[in-house]
């Protein structure tokens, strides 16, 4: 049972990548089939707006596909690949792939106006960037207290809530020098 966690991740990554490629192939062939047989849809938005999802799939293939090497006992796992279920940027990239599939299927069925739904991607990315920056700015705001900021006064204004409660009850007094 050596490297059980890596073997599990390798099999999970392989299954996820194979399923992703098959769904992509199905969605894109569906669009092209509907475009060529039933309706006339523009091809330029399809090409431009599916390129990011295809690039992400290529990236997932490069980083997530397990690598096997010939060993003494047959094929041995050399590298399990990156975790494709990781939080953060990987999760956001999966959301982009799913949204591309949805927009492609909707554009095939409803018309070229559905490509405008793809504008939600930069809007959502901007929202995430703003909230991340704002949250980080709020979290780092207290670091300036030691440099003459709001927490460095010696008149008791910079005391903690616990110290204020103790002083309010008349308990242990904190003397500032």
User: Over the stretch 69-81, which tens digit does the pLDDT of each residue have?
Assistant: 887 777 788 888 8
More confident residue, 141 or 52: 52
pLDDT in tens, 99-109: 999 999 999 88
2 and 73 in contact (C-beta within 8 Å)? no
What digits encode the pLDDT tens for the residues 119-173?
Answer: 888 888 888 888 888 877 777 766 665 554 454 444 556 778 888 888 788 766 5
Q: What per-residue confidence (pLDDT) applies to 152?
A: 47
Higher pLDDT among residues 170 and 34, named by residue: 34
pLDDT of residue 24: 96
pLDDT at 1: 47
Q: Are strands 74-79 and 67-71 parallel, antiparallel or unpaired?
A: antiparallel
* Ramachandran assignment for 148, one of left (phi > 0), alpha (psi -120 to 50 degrees), beta (any other): left
Kindly report whether the global pTM for this prediction surpasses the value 0.75: no
Length of the chain: 177
């Amino acid at each position: 049972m050596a490297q059980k966690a890596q073997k599990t991740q390798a099999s999970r990554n392989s299954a996820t990548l194979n399923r992703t490629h098959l769904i992509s192939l199905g969605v894109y062939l569906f669009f092209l089939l509907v475009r060529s047989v039933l309706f006339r849809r523009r091809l330029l938005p399809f090409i431009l707006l599916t390129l990011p999802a295809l690039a992400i799939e290529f990236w997932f293939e490069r980083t997530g596909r397990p690598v096997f090497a010939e060993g003494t006992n047959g094929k041995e796992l050399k590298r399990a690949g990156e975790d494709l279920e990781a939080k953060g940027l990987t999760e956001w990239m999966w959301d982009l792939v799913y949204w591309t599939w949805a927009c492609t299927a909707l554009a095939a069925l409803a018309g070229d106006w559905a490509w405008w739904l793809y504008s939600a991607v930069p809007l959502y990315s901007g929202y995430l960037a703003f909230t991340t920056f704002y949250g980080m700015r709020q979290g780092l705001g207290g670091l300036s207290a030691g440099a003459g900021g709001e927490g460095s006064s010696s008149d008791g204004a910079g005391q903690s809530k616990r110290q204020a409660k103790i002083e309010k009850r008349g308990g242990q007094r904190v003397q500032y020098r």
